[in-house]
Each structure stands twice: as structure tokens, then as C-alpha cells.
Structure 1
Amino acid sequence: MEQELKSQFDEFEKSEVIRRKLLPWWIKVFCWIFMIMSLFAIASLITNLFVSNVNLSLYGFSTNTAYSGTGLFIIAIMLLKGFAAYSLWFEKPNAITIAKIDAIVGIAICIASLFILPFSAGKDHFSFRLEILLLIPYYLKVNKIEYEWDNLETI
């Protein structure tokens, strides 16, 4: 019985970080940024119940209410990014797959905002999304470390 209880709590007694060492410093920084940003996304839903104006913006899409199609879309993307960051930071086995999905979705949204937003918003100018300059190296890096990440055992 005592041995069964000990095995259930072994997860909390990890003494060494192994997979996180595969991540470069800039991905580690963005992990914290996106984990905090996902908390703010949830907070914006709660805040918008009491305050009528909550400004949200991501990848060129913006709105001033959380309870709109665009607002829920932005919050969903923020939560995806937060989930990917959490998975990477806490060395989850499926973190690389989630990070790749996050990067591909981000790149697709950036490309869509490059070509769709100027026409749908009636704007006459083209705006380049600088986020794509970080999303592509992010995808390439997580793709590069995928094999090693999947084959490392955590203690």
C-alpha cells in the first residue's frame, strides 16, 4: 500500500529538468510571456462582464469586446499559445506536437491577416506582420529538437 502511494506522487518529486535544456533562451522567455498572456485572456473574459470595453489584439486582429467573434478568436489563440508554452515549460511528452500546431496556426493567421484584413477592413495599405519572423524560427527549432525531446526520459 505504501509503495502504491509513493508511485502516485513520484510525478511531483522530479529533481532534474532535462527536456527544458533543449529549448533556447528566447523560447523560454516566450513561454513565460504566453503563459501570462493566457491568464490575461481569461481575465479579459471575466473583466468584460463588468466593463464594456476590453481591448484585445493579436496578429493584426483587434476588437474592443471579448464577447464577439473576433474577441473569442483572439482569446482562443492566446489560450493555444499559453497551452503550448505550458507544455514546453513543464516538459510534457506531447509538447513538441502542440508547439508545432501553435506555430503553424500562428503562421497561417499571420498570412491571412496580411491578405484578408486590408480588403475586409477597407484599408488601402498593406501591413506586414512581424510576428511571422519569430514564428518561422520557432517552428524550425521545435522541429529540430523533436527527436531528442521524444527520446529523453525525465527523472
Structure 2
Amino acid sequence: MEQELKGHFDEFDKPEVIRRKLLPWWIKVFCWIFMIMTICALGSLVVNLFVPNVNLSLYGFSSDTAYSGTGLFIIAVMLLKGFAAYLLWFEKPNAIMIAKIDAIVGIVICVASMFILPFSSGKDHFSFRLEILLLIPYYMKINKIEYEWDNLETI
């Protein structure tokens, strides 16, 4: 009888494995920032129904309204970033794959913003996007922890 009870309670003795511990502090901070910014981006869709100008800006792209091509593009990118942050924070199995997609999309958008946007809009100056200095280490760190993240068993 005692063995039978012990067998049922063995899973409570397992140490809790938390994937979040694999993330450095700066990624944890950005997870919260991007989850909050995603809520704000979605809120801009509602606010823009009542207020004519809602300023949105990300990676060098900016818009005065949420209901323009650029505005919807910015909101879509924010939704991707917020989704990746949510998955990382709540330790979902597919979080690393989505975070890598998020980083690659961010890098591509930054490069486009630096090299294509200035010349297509008639501006003759180069503008370096500082975001790329965080996106590259973000991708590298996510890539580095991928194996351990995927092979941890959570309760």
C-alpha cells in the first residue's frame, strides 16, 4: 500500500525545470517590453477609430495612422515580436523557432530600413539602426540555447 501511494506522489518530488532560467536578464526585460508594446499596438487600432493621428514607429518605419499600409505593417511586426516574447516568457516548446523567425525578420527589416528606405524616399543620407546591435546577439543567444530548451522536460 505504501509503495502504491509513493508511486502516485513521485511526480511531486521532481525538481521543477524552468526554461526561463536559460534566458539572460536582458531578453527577459525585452519580453515584457514587447508584450506591453503589443498591447499598445493593438490599442492603437481602437484609438485610431476615435483620434485621427496615432504615431507608430518601429525599425525606422513610421506612420501617423494605424490604418495605412505602413501602420498595419508596424502593428503586424509588433504582433510577431509580442507573440515571440509571450512564447519565451511562458516557456512554450515552439518559442525558440518563433524567436528565431522574429530575430531574422527584425534584422531584414532593419537592413531594409538602413539601405532601401532612405534611397526610395528621396533622402540622401544613411541612417544606422541601433536595434540591429541587439537583434544579432538576440539571435545568437536564442540559437545557443535552442538545444537545451528543446530537450528540457517541463512538468
TM normalised by structure 2 equals 0.89
Give 1:100's aligned residue. 100
Q: Which amino acid aligns with 1:45?
A: L
Change (3 A) 1:40 1:16: farther
- Which 5+ residue runs of structure 2 have no aligned equivalent? 1-14
Q: Structure 2 matches for 1:123-134, cutoff 5 A?
A: 123-134=123-134
For residues 123-145 of structure 1, give each alpha carbon's deviation from its aligned partner in whole angstroms, at most 9, with x where no partner exists: 11100000000000000000000
Change (3 A) 1:63 1:17: farther
Give 1:114's aligned residue. 114
User: Could you tell me whether the CA contact under 8 Å between 2:106 and 2:135 is conserved in 1?
Assistant: yes
SS at match of 2:153: coil
Q: Does 1:147 align with 2:147?
A: yes
For residues 4-55 of structure 1, give each alpha carbon's deviation from its aligned partner in whole angstroms, at most 9, with x where no partner exists: xxxxxxxxxxx94510000000000000000000000000000000000000
SS at match of 1:129: coil
- Which 5+ residue runs of structure 1 have no aligned equivalent? 1-14
Cα RMSD (Å) of the superposition?
Answer: 1.0
For residues 95-124 of structure 1, give each alpha carbon's deviation from its aligned partner in whole angstroms, at most 9, with x where no partner exists: 000000000000000000111111122111
For residues 48-106 of structure 1, give each alpha carbon's deviation from its aligned partner in whole angstroms, at most 9, with x where no partner exists: 00000000000000010000000000000000000000000000000000000000000
Q: Which has the larger radius of gyration?
A: 2
Q: Which amino acid aligns with 2:147?
A: Y
Counting aligned pairs with the same residue, the percent is: 86
Give 1:88's aligned residue. 88
User: Could you tell me whether the CA contact under 8 Å between 2:35 and 2:86 is conserved in 1?
Assistant: yes
TM normalised by structure 1 equals 0.89
Aligned equivalents of 1:54, 1:111: Cα separation in 2: 25
SS at match of 2:62: strand
Number of aligned residues: 141
Aligned equivalents of 2:68, 2:56: Cα separation in 1: 11
Aligned equivalents of 1:16, 1:98: Cα separation in 2: 24
Q: Which amino acid aligns with 1:86?
A: Y
